[in-house]
Amino acid sequence: MGIRRKASITLGLVQSVIGSLATVFAYLLYYNFLDVQTVLNVPQKDVVLYMLVLIVFGLLSIISGLFLLSGHE
């Protein structure tokens, strides 16, 4: 296995994990689990916007990471 393939696998895993964490954080923010909205001082009217941005970022990161993991040789 070449160094390029190892780097692709590593970056794919990291990117997928970051995307998953962003998606989980979006739900934590929306449902105010552990009082996240208060800690971050997020107004109630902006929560839906932040959730949308985090979910889009998370899904794009997960998809990109999976493409890196599947890499064609």
Kindly give the confidence (pLDDT) of every residue in the chain, 73 residues in length, as a single tens digit, with 9 standing for 90 and above. Answer: 789 889 999 999 999 999 999 999 999 999 998 999 999 999 999 999 999 999 999 999 999 999 999 876 5
Question: Which residues, other chains included, contact 57 with Cβ-Cβ below 8 Å and sequence gap of 6+?
Answer: 19, 22
pTM comes to 0.85
CA–CA gap between residue 46 and residue 1 (Å, rounded): 47
